[in-house]
Amino acid sequence: MSNKSIIYNSENIPFVKDDLGNQQVFAEVVIDIPHPSLDRIFEYRVPCDLMENIHVGARVLVPFGLKNKQMDGFVLKIKDRCDFASTKIKDIISCFDDDFVLLEELIPIVKWMRGVYHCTYIDAIRCFVPPSARKVKSSRYIETVRLTASFDEAEAFIKSNIRRASAMCKILFLLLENPEMTKEDIFLNTWASPATFKSLQNKGFIEIIKEEHFRIPEVASNLTRSSITLTPQQNEVIERCTEEYNKEKKKPVLIRGVTGSGKTEVYMRIAKRVIDSGKRVIMLVPEIALTPQTVANFKSFFKDDIAVLNSRLSAGERYDEWRRIKNGIAKIVIGARSAIFAPITNLGLVIIDEEHEDSYKSEISPRYNAIDVAQKRCEASNALLILGSATPDIVHYNKACKGEYVKLVMPERIGSGFPDITVCDMKRELELGNKTMFSTPLYNAIKALKNTDDQGILMLNRRGYAEHVSCRKCGFVYKCDHCNVSLTYHQKKGLLKCHHCGYAVYMKDTCPVCGSKYIKVFGRGTQRLEDEIRKYFPEVPFIRMDADTTTAKGAHFKILNAFSEGKYKLLLGTQMVSKGLDFKNVSLVGIIAPDSTLNMPEYKSAERVFRLISQASGRAGRGDKPGKVILQCYNPEHYAIQCAIENDYDKFYFNELRERQQGLYPPFCRIMRIVFSSHNEEDARTEAQNAAQTILALANEENEAGILDVLCQSAPIERLRDRFRWHVIVKFNDDAEYTVHRAADIILDDNNYSKVQASIDFDPVSIL
């Protein structure tokens, strides 16, 4: 990223006047093209006829380059002098008169994002003014893209075109994973141009279906809320938050409230108070929590004051919601991660529910963390930030314990108490000859659901049928052609799929290497669980929810709805079923092998296992029925599992803190990770090694002791989508923040993008 910013030398620059002696006005403009070479501020003159309309944050049309091509841009500043030679300066052509402007108060946050996430100005601006809103505007149509090419055609095409036509390949990859997606979703994932869609369509690879979109009927909003008397615990937390809200200098609040302690009610009451005080509210929830039930719940509380932003909205609906927010009609915005960018003025409160969720971190550039952005927005508007979770992120909890955040605890559940957890050591079950996926207690508990109204949830955190397929004779393992990972077997189509890039092949009866028949599937996934349920419990109606059954629009909702209406006895699925669901009839939760990921080379794996068990067991016993949880695992003695069984977050926290200190991981340091990927392994390695050298040299030069460790190695997933990957991991403390960002700037400046792609990530959720 070159030319960080223009150096102003206002002393030497005279005011500029026109021929009549009138004072001139200039604007600093960022061009709406996300290319590193255009990531700078360009100066333009504001012609007289635009002076009335122009404002900071406005979207304008400007002539650009030698050919004066017309381009969109955003005004970041208006000033009365210019740094550029005034004879060469060009005039702004026009100023858009619509709602898609950048709020002036958000410009410092755009600049901050560019600095800390090392993205371009326009990458950051596009978060706040999404292109879907700008380009598709009031369209009432949804365009669905469907893959029409056969599997083999699409692979073949990807193989021979991955380098030349990568945009088309990206779309095909996505569609191989989800055969039907909206054009908008594909666009948001790939930034593919309309021409790319057109060529795929012309090749006969995809078809695009245009349908008029009708709004989700609003039956839900006249749902009446049964009157709720708050518990003393809820009242106390509401008062403490209000107290903090009324302070001139506010700290963020972290609420650790066990599952079922009634946090949602608390959030709504605090939000109501803030709205009544004349301010506005943003509430972030994980995407899956944005089910129509939750939305209906909020709508019945906030009536027309609420705007909902979720990925199910058509471009037209999103545009409408955006306008309702922008124009001040909506007082509270509820949405997933990107709702933190909502154009809300007069912000008083941001609530982040299930704050531990990885999904608050963006995995595409800019790799922002919505919680950090929220903290910045709150600081800028003197608003209160509330984070809530049953199992807070260790780093955030540490901040709360140190007094950086206000720590509030809700230890008691509403209604019934905590469910009993029965632990089954599956190693022992196997010794006893049980080769099924059900321990004896789980088998009996499922059988016992019969003749009752009770329902059960089974969670197994791996989709597909089996983890991998290999030959027992020669040791051959089916691996992805494009990534260095083994393929997962999906039984229905007899396919072996790559969960990273979407590549798939048909499984053969014999080993492709030695020709033997001893080819065998190893490990267990949700599809196999489904098979075994059918076999051992033929009388039990069940439904499966995982990434493979929820690709269609609205599939989540349909599954959850059918289950809550009692059409099924069992809901089985991946960690998707462990989150935030509130079903009164669920008395049984089976958690199958949550510890299978404990050996991953990731410092967060223990935290994830603890959380998975706590969250999943929180689904049991939510009504007045006592809950029963059966936990099947292989490492019952591990502290993550022990603490989860004892339902003791603090104990887990202290254990985990000790481990993190020994291994030097957050909160004892921060992490910057730069991944270098290339078609040529040598190139990736060289750039990574150079980067590591740069960092060490800079630390040395500045005598910076806050850089604690610099690692340069091939990434655990050595090859992904045909690119070899090396990474540099830097552990540092707050003192070294400046040096680390400077090093990152130098590295990105030196990076030859055409050869090696460098992607930078601070506090990554995964280091695979």
Sheet with 141-147: list strands edge to edge.
180-182, 141-147, 206-212
Name residues contacting ligand ADP, limited to 389-448 (CB under 6 A).
414
CA distance 173 to 503: 8
| Choice between 261 and 470, CB closer to Zn ion | 470
Q: Order of strands across the sheet with 59-64?
A: 42-45, 26-31, 69-79, 59-64, 94-95
Considering only residues 240 through 259, tell me which ones interact with ligand ADP, judged by CB under 6 A.
Answer: 257, 259
From residue 511 to residue 530, what is the string marking binding to Zn ion with x (rule CB under 5 A)? x-xx-x--------------
Give the C-alpha separation, 512 to 725, whole Å. 27
- By C-alpha distance, which of 344, 364, 322, 310 is closest to 136? 322
Q: What is the 3-state secondary structure (H, E, C) of 244-267?
A: HHHCCCCCCEEEEECCCCCHHHHH
Residue 117 touches which member of ligand ADP, Zn ion, none, C-beta under 5-8 Å by kind:
none
- Minimum distance from CB of 259 to ligand ADP (Å)? 4
Among Zn ion, ligand ADP, none, what binds residue 687 when CB lies within 5 to 8 Å by partner kind?
none
The torsion angles phi and psi of 407, rounded to 5 degrees, stand at: -100, 120
Site track for ligand ADP across 506-545, x = CB under 6 A: ----------------------------------------
Chain position carrying tokens 């969670």: 459
Asked if 176 touches Zn ion (CB under 5 A), the answer is no
Residues 220-239 that bind ligand ADP (CB under 6 A): 228-231, 234
Beta strand pairing call for 347-353 and 384-389: parallel
Look at residue 259 and give the partner it binds from Zn ion, ligand ADP, none, a contact being a CB closer than 5 to 8 Å depending on partner kind: ligand ADP
Instruction: Report helix angle 292-302 to 263-276, nearest 10.
Output: 40
Should residue 483 be labelled a site residue for Zn ion when binding is judged by CB under 5 A?
yes
User: Would you give the end-to-end CA distance of the chain in angstroms?
Assistant: 26
Instruction: Give, as ranges, the residues between 577 and 636 that touch ligand ADP (CB under 6 A).
Output: 582
Binding to Zn ion by residue 724, rule CB under 5 A?
Answer: no
Residue whose CB is less far from ligand ADP, 262 or 706? 262
CB-based contact 446:540 (threshold 8 Å): yes
Least separation in angstroms between CB 228 and ligand ADP? 5
Decide if residue 473 touches Zn ion (CB under 5 A).
yes
Please choose which of Zn ion, ligand ADP, none residue 257 contacts, taking the beta carbon within 5 to 8 angstroms, the exact cut-off set by kind.
ligand ADP
**Stretches 81-89, 509-517, 532-540, 552-560: which one binds Zn ion (CB under 5 A)?**
509-517
Minimum Å gap between C-beta 415 and ligand ADP is 7
Measured from the CB of residue 344, what is the shortest distance to ligand ADP in angstroms?
24
Element (H, E) at 653: helix 649-663
* CB 261, min distance to ligand ADP, A: 4
Nearer to ligand ADP, 264 or 488 (CB): 264
- Element (DSSP H or E) covering residue 580: none
| Residue in 16, 33, 395, 474 binding Zn ion, rule: CB under 5 A | 474
Q: Say which amino acid occupies 286.
A: P
Region binding Zn ion by CB under 5 A among candidate stretches 7-15, 169-177, 278-286, 476-484? 476-484
Based on CB atoms, which residue is closest to ligand ADP, 177 or 353?
353
DSSP string, 714-756: EEEEEEETTEEEEEEEEEE-GGGHHHHHHHHHHHHHH--TTT-
How far apart are the C-alpha atoms of 583 and 589, rounded to whole Å?
Answer: 12
Sequence-separated (6 or more) residues with CB below 8 Å from residue 60? 27, 29, 44, 54, 72, 73, 74, 75, 92, 93, 94, 95, 96
Report the residue number, 471 or 712, with the smaller CB distance to Zn ion.
Answer: 471
Binding residue count for ligand ADP, defined by CB under 6 A = 15
CB 732 within 8 A of CB 684: no
Total length of the chain: 768
DSSP classification of residue 92 = P
Residue 24 is classified by DSSP as: P
**Partner from Zn ion, ligand ADP, none binding residue 578, C-beta < 5-8 Å depending on class:** none
Determine if the peptide bond prior to 366 is cis (ω within 30°): yes
**Residue 414 interacts with which of Zn ion, ligand ADP, none, CB < 5 to 8 Å by class:** ligand ADP
CB of 267 to ligand ADP, least distance (A): 8
Q: Which CB, 286 or 525, lies closer to ligand ADP?
A: 286
CA 469, chain centre distance (Å)? 30
Does residue number 286 form part of the binding site for ligand ADP (CB under 6 A)?
Answer: no
Contact 305, 299 (CB under 8 A): no
- Residue 111's nearest CA partner among 55, 173, 39, 181 is 39
Nearer to Zn ion, 280 or 497 (CB): 497
Q: Which does 5 bind (CB under 5 to 8 A by kind): ligand ADP, Zn ion, none?
A: none
DSSP state of 130: -
Contact with Zn ion (CB under 5 A) among 482, 490, 579, 727: 482
343, interface contact from Zn ion, ligand ADP, none, CB < 5-8 Å by kind = none
- Residue 230: contacted member of Zn ion, ligand ADP, none (CB under 5 to 8 Å, by partner type): ligand ADP
Q: Which of 332, 458, 498, 744 binds Zn ion (CB under 5 A)?
A: 498
For helices 166-177 and 183-190, the axis angle rounded to 10 degrees is 130
Query: For Zn ion, which is the closer residue by CB, 142 or 720?
Result: 720
Q: Per the structure block, which two tokens stand in for 257?
A: 């409230």
Segment 256 to 275, residues that bind ligand ADP, using CB under 6 A: 257, 259-265
Residue 264 site contact among ligand ADP, Zn ion, none (CB < 5 to 8 Å, cut-off depends on kind): ligand ADP
Under DSSP, is residue 521 helix (H, G, I), strand (E, B) or coil? Answer: strand
In the complex, the residues that contact ligand ADP under the rule CB under 6 A are 228-231, 234, 257, 259-265, 414, 582
Instruction: Summarize as ranges the residues that interact with Zn ion (CB under 5 A).
Output: 471, 473-474, 476, 480, 482-483, 498, 500-501, 503, 511, 513-514, 516
